[in-house]
Amino acid sequence: MLFSLGWSCSPNVQISLFSRELMLCAVSVISILRVLGAKPVRKQLCINRTHSPLCCSMASPKRLQGLIAATITPMTPDGEINLSVIGQYVDYLVKEQGVKNVFVNGTTGEGLALSTQERKQLAEEWVTKGKNKLDHVIIHVGALSLPEAKELAKHAAAIGASGIAGIAPFFFKPTNKDTLVAFLREVASEAPGIPFYYYHIPPLTGVKIRVEELLDGIKEQIPTFQGVKFSDTDLLDFAQCVKNHKEQFVLLYGVDEHLLSALAMGASGAVGSTYNYLGKKNNLMLEAFAKQDLTLAQQYQFCTGEFLSFVFKLGFGVAQTKAVMTFTSGIPMGPPRLPLLSASVDFIEKAKAKMASLIL
């Protein structure tokens, strides 16, 4: 059995799915056992027609796939958003990292720490500066307040974003699938002409409704539903999504250090912060995987893992990501917004030396 791999870098490469089918079969058995109570062993765009000068600027017939950079929000030293460097940022991603898709105002972008107006300004700047350079600009519009999320969704559609994404509300949490779908449906309804993606990140939201369950019948509830950003390490859930919904939805993996595992499962693409500064190496991993060179693909994954393992031990989060992007790209990303604190000088020196030591 042959399968035409969807990565844009190697569209004609075919690989055998036999081993992956065996793995997915095993995953299905495990899923059934879980339902029975067994304990796990622990060892296409229709553009919104407005009079906005930005409308239609990001229309793209291309399927969302490959690497998507979770963008950082540049800030001035006094904590204001710094829109002046977005154009330089776009050029750096495209020319230096080979990344032509972005996910704006998500976790890495401190989206939920920004005001509604700031989020709109950033969305507009990314759409404007990305015109004719980026393939997709996905705007995260999730918020704790439903009216705010709807307002951001409507705005994203009006300025010509490629699509929108929404996180589950996580102070007053949805407790079941129906409640979550009802919330997401309200948000997506404000942008009926562009794709909607669910942003699944239970380690931060605490909303642990399984994506496999969520996807079942969701297209009837949300006609614009296009896929998921899956930021969790539950590969059992992810594999069931691939097995049952790969043909219908875009399944984007969001844990950078596990990307190769997700590729083996059948991920459509990946959204992550490291693709801002390690995009080139990860693109080479995708190419190696598409060519069935697993040994080379592993080397690139190990390279990313080596860096992340090192910085995780030092303490790594959004603030440290901004520091890494600053010294890697030369573009000033500035400080994070409180309650996050800036990376220390010690961290920056050690991380910079480690980055320079990476062989691949």
What positions carry a catalytic annotation? Answer: 199, 229
* CA nearest to 156, candidates 249, 271, 48: 48
Burial of 116 (0-12, 13-18, 19+ CB in 10 A): middle
The overall longest dimension of the chain from CA atoms, in Å, is 59
**Can you tell me the distance from the alpha carbon of 23 to that of 79, in angstroms, rounded to the nearest whole number?**
48
> Is 193 within 8 Å of 163 (Cβ atoms)?
no
Q: How far is CA 264 from CA 16, 20, 76, 210, 319, in A?
A: 11, 7, 41, 20, 31
**Can you tell me the distance from the alpha carbon of 44 to that of 224, in angstroms, rounded to the nearest whole number?**
10
> Is 120 within 8 Å of 82 (Cβ atoms)?
no
* CA nearest to 250, candidates 275, 272, 265, 229: 229
Q: Helices 235-245 and 18-35 sit at what angle, rounded to 10 degrees? A: 110
**Gap between the terminal Cα atoms of the chain:** 33
Question: Which residues contact residue 155 at a Cβ distance below 8 angstroms, ignoring those fewer than 6 apart?
Answer: 120, 123
